[in-house]
Structure 1
Amino acid sequence: MTFKDDLQNLMGTPVSQSKYIYGSIFHLMFNVTAGDAELVCNGCQWVLLDAADSVRLHDEAALSSDVISGLLTGKRLRSVESSPGSLSLHFDDVVLCGFATEDYHLMLHDGVSLKSPEWLAETDAARDSFMLFRPDGPAAGYEFSGYFDLNSVPWGAHYLSAQEGIIG
């Protein structure tokens, strides 16, 4: 099965626990019949949007398990959208959008660009922006195949201004 197939199996399942790890990394647990499935946001850029496309939380904010849990625990996964540069997980009343801009990716990975020979030589776990661990099968990973353009979405400017408020 693929990462997207595994996500389809979680549709309608609520997040049972949200756990902040470090930096922009956090885990979402889903209680499924065979045990707990764990979705890991593995260090990509991300934003949590409400129904009005307002930024509720983003990867550079002051994060904790309580903050993430308050926005995601108990929410049911409703749909998934993917493009070369983003992955959007639609929950009851929020959307988690993971993405990688070129500047961020090059900074995070010491100038190694997506799809370059150096990038492809990295282990999957080092490359995958999302990982899904299931109790009844192997882990599946997801990596972007292209960079995301923040100018292409209505919340891009808001994300950048929110980020600048934290960084600058």
Structure 2
Amino acid sequence: MRRSIALLAIACLALLPVVGSAQAIWKWKDANGTLQVSDTPPPTSVPDSAIISRPGGRVAEIVVGGSAEAPASTPSRSDSALEARKREQQAGQKAADAARAAATKERDQARREENCRQARQQQANLDSGMRMARLNDKGEREYLDDSARAAEAERVRQRIQQACN
């Protein structure tokens, strides 16, 4: 047991230099081109392009005049390209909606024309005087008498008014 505690203590002591070296290290070139290494950030007079490495790879914020200023928001090329793409999609969507509406209107018009044609054909059959029959609930054929023929003629006239106007 004492031996394992001693080994653990030796291992901890061996790791101390490694833990101590994990401090924040800054590297930059000064105005004379000399490499500077420090655990503190470089002076504000050192340009950002002269900084070689930062602790943790973070970008340092440079404070000028005692306050950090956010850069003015200017639209970049990618923003304007996104806006253009968005406008194109909206225009494409409007065109697709218009095409769907036109197709729906065309189908509705074709249905009305077909209904009108069928109603006029029924009217012509009724006016011809030929015998007309219907199937009843049992599937048997029933011929129309004069009153049923008149009722059918009235129903067809109403259908023509709805479909053909």
TM-based fold match above 0.5: no
**Structure holding more strand per residue:** 1
Larger Rg: 2
**Structure holding more helix per residue:** 2
TM-score (norm 2): 0.15
Select the structure with the greater relative contact order (CA < 8 A; seq sep ≥ 6).
Answer: 1
TM-score (norm 1): 0.15
